[in-house]
A and B are shown apart, each in its own frame.
Chain A
Amino acid sequence: MSPAMTKFRFTGALLAAATAAFIGIGAAHAQDAAEDDLRLDDAWGDLVIDQEPILTDLQFAELNNLAFQAAVTKICDGFDLDQKKFAEGVSTATNPAPQTADTPDEMKQWETAVYFRLGASYGLFLAEGNAHAEKFCQSAADLKADPEVPNVWQ
């Protein structure tokens, strides 16, 4: 593994701290969301609109999938995170770091921003999943059954 990969390895403890800190934010936003469907449009809008481009489109999408899969393990039976896969997934999703983060302080700020986004997304997925667990867990089952799409579950 490259030094850069090691640098951004995401420990379980750090993930827990980052995500737990934002569960409350996600729950609060959830109440304001439109009830047209399961998706919490307004809450997602508050999170992602005006988001600075700290990641590429692909990296944002990878982070979404990781946050979703982490939330699934809390809501749906039969799903457990594979810690090694999850850590590798986070490492992949955050590499390469943006060119603008040159100094150690800038790297620290960037990492914090990434963890904030991951934690906030995790919180929103928890809110969506708990609101409609059956549909949420069916979608998780679809992911697990698709051999083309990798997951970070055991």
Chain B
Amino acid sequence: MARAMLAALGAATLAVTTALGPVGPVAAKDNTGAIVGGLVAGAVIGAAVASSVNHPKDIYVKPAPPPPPKPDPWQNAFSPKPGVKCYPVQHACYNKNGAYNANWTWKVYQK
């Protein structure tokens, strides 16, 4: 921000100096065009400075990537027979429709 404002101020000074011409006793001449040009340049630079003042102050920081998904706790499930699925972590077997299967739980884990 400070650098931008300094650059704009320098440019404005240069523009005005150019518009007014060299300092010292010189012959009178019509500088109207140069003065108008300098004012226009100053206005443009001022607008640029004002625009830079309104820039958001927050610094954008790239958000951290989401954590990796947790491992599937049921990935070691197995089927002792078609239509039955057993979950070692739970020590339980279920029918395909999701109903607890006490028969196969007993057969798999208790025999």
Contact = CB atoms under 8 A, between A and B. Distances in A.
A60 B93 CA distance: 12
A39 B94 contact: yes
Interface string A117-154: 00000000100100010011011101100101111000
Q: How large is the interface on A (under 10, 10 to 19, 20 to 34, 35 or more residues)?
A: 20 to 34
A61 interface: yes
A48 B108 CA distance: 18
Contacts of B94: 37-39
A135 B98 contact: yes
Interface in A52-81: 57-58, 60-62, 64-65, 68-69
Interface string A5-33: 00000000000000000000000000000
Nearest to B86: A61
A110 interface: no
B73 interface: yes
Given A57-B91, A64-B92, A149-B106, A135 B73 contact: no
A116 interface: no
Most chain B CB neighbours (cut-off 10 Å) among A36, A58, A140, A149: A149
A101 to B, nearest CB: 20
Contacts of A135: 95, 97-99
Contacts of A69: 102
Nearest to A131: B98
Interface string B74-111: 10000000000001111110111111111101111110
A26 to B, nearest CB: 13
A149 B98 contact: no
Contact of B110 (A48, A49, A61, A143): A61
Contacts of A138: 99
Most chain B CB neighbours (cut-off 10 Å) among A41, A139, A146: A139
B91 A38 contact: no
Nearest to A140: B102
A136 B103 CA distance: 13
